[in-house]
């Protein structure tokens, strides 16, 4: 388990903002996956809406092979599809919706009349009420319900925002209380597969309330997995905003999924909602991911737009733990270049990230380290800042101490050493933390320090005069004590 990590030298810095990349046809080969990890990918996302289990299983194998070759932990996020509503087949394949035109939603999945629309969510007709909005094609087409049949066989709508819709495009029902559960039958099958593969994170789409997250926890518990994944609540519905604090208590991490959120909520509100969600996650010590269209133009271009660069930088400055690439790496023309660009933008923005005052954090007791460890981590951050240290080193068995250090958003990078593979991969989501696998985590602080000095010299991270702050433990008078130790390299 001696680490031979090559990524810090290829990336040329210890990581702070984490990068998540979606796996797809553009990056399915081991060569591209290897380049992505070397360029800065910390976690790979598997989208269960696409790809068969055989293909997904091979990607898991290749990702873990690359992580082993490069000697650096890499996490894997399995993204459950959730109750995504799509149009059924439209007669002729598509239809132009002109403003003021009338359409009906009818039961079933097919129709012979292009003005009679169907969808994959049969209770739509039962759930919507007169005056509710129905958005189609990622919100580019909008309709309002103005009539329901007495026998609930159909609802009639008028077009308020014109455009063309095609078969199988997405349907959004903002503000409508859906009767379907958040975890579908397909999600249950995908979850079982993900647990068999020992994935590190499970994302739940279209979360509406904390009970959705609790249900997923119960389903995971029912499998009694050998490795329990962290649950990521994807915030993309307005109902979730209303129950955000309860969701934060229930979830292990949060994703600001701006695609559907920008359809469900007024698009002009999305930047404000994003900032509010990130701030609340920081306060609750919940790792937060910002996702969707971050470098979207790079699917087809060599460089992003200025607006995209500003968007990524602002998310970093606001306090996001991770930024995620979707189509950019899954189907884009140059996924490696996208990751390198994301890493460059994050590196420029990170010096502007403000340290957190942990007195204001609202994390419940289960998210905190022991009180003594909390005090020690605060002292380590303060000492590292005051001494202008080069590195903070922490030995951690569960990752909780590393998370406590991460929440400070300190200036000095953190090297977290653990002997548990699953903990190392989990820490791939923690801002400012570089995980390393080593059995030395259970030995003395002196042994840990000696290892770190060798590692730092090997990776050109430490040199004569460098200061290292170690958060560890010592056995004194037969008892184990937390400590902070400062070492200056001769």
Q: Which of 234, 400, 409, 426 is catalytic?
A: 234
In this structure, are strands 133-136 and 163-166 parallel, antiparallel, or unpaired?
unpaired
Provide the percentage of residues in the chain whose pLDDT is more than 90: 68
Distance CA 6, CA 216 (A): 36
Contact predicate 77/203, CB 8 Å: yes
- Pick the closest to residue 7 from 319, 291, 18 (CA basis): 18
pLDDT of residue 484: 85
What pLDDT band is residue 478 in, cutting at 50, 70 and 90? very low
Using alpha carbons, list the distances in angstroms from residue 381 to 323, 351, 362, 413: 24, 16, 19, 10
Q: Which of 13, 64, 86, 467 is catalytic?
A: 86
CATH 3.30.497.10 fits 17-83+182-352, yes or no: no
What pLDDT band is residue 10 in, cutting at 50, 70 and 90? very low
Provide the percentage of residues in the chain whose pLDDT is more than 70: 93
Mean pLDDT of 253-258: 97
Where along the chain do the CATH 2.40.33.10 domains lie?
85-172
pLDDT of residue 214: 97
Buried b (16+ CB within 10 A) or exposed e, 28-37: eebebbbbbb
* DSSP 8-state code for residue 6: -
Mean pLDDT of 124-145: 94
- Pick the closest to residue 130 from 99, 160, 156, 102 (CA basis): 156
Active site residue 86: yes
What pLDDT band is residue 110 in, cutting at 50, 70 and 90? confident
pLDDT of residue 362: 52
Distance CA 96, CA 93 (A): 11
In this model, does residue 428 exceed pLDDT 50? Answer: yes
Active site residue 234: yes
Where along the chain do the CATH 3.40.1380.20 domains lie?
358-488
pLDDT of residue 3: 43
In this model, does residue 434 exceed pLDDT 50? Answer: yes
In this model, does residue 2 exceed pLDDT 50? Answer: no
Active site residue 208: no
More confident call, 15 vs 230:
230
pLDDT of residue 4: 42
Helices and strands (H, E) in the chain, number of each type: 17, 22
pTM of the predicted protein model:
0.90
pLDDT of residue 474: 60
pLDDT of residue 50: 86
Distance CA 113, CA 102 (A): 12
Q: Which of 7, 34, 45, 340 is catalytic?
A: 45
The rounded mean pLDDT for the chain is 90
pLDDT of residue 198: 96
In this model, does residue 16 exceed pLDDT 80? Answer: yes
CATH class of 358-488: alpha beta
Buried b (16+ CB within 10 A) or exposed e, 341-363: bbbebbbebbeebeebebeeeeb
In this model, does residue 108 exceed pLDDT 90? Answer: no
In a 13 Å sphere around the CA of 57, the CA atoms on its Cβ side amount to: 9
Question: What is the CA 367 to chain-centroid distance, rounded?
Answer: 18
More confident call, 152 vs 357:
152
CATH class of 85-172: mainly beta
For 24-51, how does the pLDDT look when each residue is reduced to its tens digit (9 = 90+)?
A: 999 999 999 999 999 999 999 999 988 8
In this model, does residue 1 exceed pLDDT 80? Answer: no
Return left, alpha or beta for 439; rule: phi > 0 is left, psi -120 to 50 is alpha, else beta. alpha
Mean pLDDT of 63-68: 97
More confident call, 224 vs 443:
224
Residue 86 parent element (H or E): strand 85-86
Q: Which of 292, 320, 377, 401 is catalytic?
A: 292
Active site residue 164: no
More confident call, 218 vs 444:
218
What pLDDT band is residue 272 in, cutting at 50, 70 and 90? very high
Mean pLDDT of 245-274: 94
For 179-233, how does the pLDDT look when each residue is reduced to its tens digit (9 = 90+)?
A: 888 899 999 999 999 999 999 999 999 999 999 999 999 999 999 998 899 999 9
pLDDT of residue 475: 52
Sign of CA dihedral 60, 435, 353, 370: positive
Q: Where are the beta strands (DSSP E) in 162-218?
A: 163-166, 170-172, 201-204
DSSP H helices, 236-269, are 238-242, 244-250, 258-264
Residue 488 parent element (H or E): strand 479-488
Distance CA 201, CA 277 (A): 20
Distance CA 366, CA 371 (A): 12
Residue 375 parent element (H or E): helix 371-386
Burial of 306 (0-12, 13-18, 19+ CB in 10 A): exposed
Using alpha carbons, list the distances in angstroms from residue 244 to 129, 236, 313: 25, 11, 24
Where along the chain do the CATH 3.20.20.60 domains lie?
17-83+182-352
In this model, does residue 88 exceed pLDDT 60? Answer: yes
For 356-401, how does the pLDDT look when each residue is reduced to its tens digit (9 = 90+)?
A: 765 555 555 555 556 777 788 889 999 999 999 999 999 888 898 8
Q: At what angle do helices 30-39 and 53-70 cross, to 10 degrees?
A: 50
Mean pLDDT of 397-411: 90
pLDDT of residue 480: 54
Residue 415 parent element (H or E): strand 414-418
pLDDT of residue 287: 97
More confident call, 55 vs 370:
55
Question: What is the CA 375 to chain-centroid distance, rounded?
Answer: 29
């Amino acid at each position: 388990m001696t680490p031979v990590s090559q990524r810090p030298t290829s990336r040329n810095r210890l990581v702070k903002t984490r990068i998540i990349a979606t796996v797809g046809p553009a990056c399915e080969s081991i060569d591209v996956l290897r380049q992505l990890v070397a360029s800065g990918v910390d976690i790979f996302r598997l989208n269960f809406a696409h790809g068969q289990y055989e293909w997904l299983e091979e990607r898991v194998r290749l990702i873990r092979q690359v992580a082993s070759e490069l000697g650096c932990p890499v996490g894997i996020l399995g993204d459950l599809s959730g109750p995504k509503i799509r149009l059924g087949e439209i007669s002729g394949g598509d239809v132009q919706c002109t403003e003021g035109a009338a359409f009906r939603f009818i039961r079933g999945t097919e129709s012979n009349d292009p003005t009679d629309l169907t969808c994959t969510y049969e209770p739509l007709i039962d759930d919507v009420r007169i005056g509710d909005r129905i958005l189609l094609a990622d919100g580019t087409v909008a309709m309002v319900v103005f009539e329901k049949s007495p026998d609930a066989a159909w609802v009639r709508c008028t077009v308020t925002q014109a455009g063309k819709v095609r078969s199988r495009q997405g349907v959004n029902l903002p503000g409508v209380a859906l009767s379907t559960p958040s975890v579908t039958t397909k999600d249950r099958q995908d979850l079982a597969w993900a647990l068999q593969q020992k994935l590190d994170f499970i994302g739940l789409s279209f979360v509406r309330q904390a009970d959705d997250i609790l249900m997923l926890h119960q389903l995971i518990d029912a499998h009694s997995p050998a490795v329990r994944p962290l649950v990521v609540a994807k915030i993309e519905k307005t109902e979730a905003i209303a129950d955000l604090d309860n969701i934060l208590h229930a979830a292990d991490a949060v994703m600001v999924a701006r695609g559907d959120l920008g359809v469900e909520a007024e698009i002009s509100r999305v930047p404000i909602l994003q900032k509010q969600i990130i701030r609340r996650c920081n306060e609750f010590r919940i790792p937060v991911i910002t996702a969707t269209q971050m470098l979207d133009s790079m699917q087809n271009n060599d460089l992003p737009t200025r607006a995209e660069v500003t968007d990524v930088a602002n998310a970093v400055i606001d306090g996001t733990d991770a930024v995620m690439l979707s189509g950019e790496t899954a189907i884009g023309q140059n996924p490696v270049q996208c990751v390198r660009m994301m890493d460059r933008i994050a590196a420029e923005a990170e010096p502007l990230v403000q340290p957190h005052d942990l007195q204001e954090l609202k994390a419940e007791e289960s998210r905190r380290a022991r009180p003594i460890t909390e005090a020690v981590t605060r002292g380590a951050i303060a000492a590292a800042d005051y001494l202008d240290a080069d590195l903070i080193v922490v030995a951690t068995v569960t990752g909780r101490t590393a998370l406590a250090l991460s929440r400070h958003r300190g200036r000095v990078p953190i090297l977290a050493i653990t002997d548990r593979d699953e903990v190392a991969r989990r820490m791939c989501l923690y801002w400012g933390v570089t995980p390393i696998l080593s059995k030395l985590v259970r030995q003395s602080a002196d042994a840990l320090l000696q290892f770190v000095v060798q590692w730092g010299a090997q990776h050109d991270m430490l040199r004569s005069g460098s200061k290292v702050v170690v958060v560890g433990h010592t056995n004194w008078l037969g008892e184990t004590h937390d400590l902070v130790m400062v070492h200056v390299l001769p």
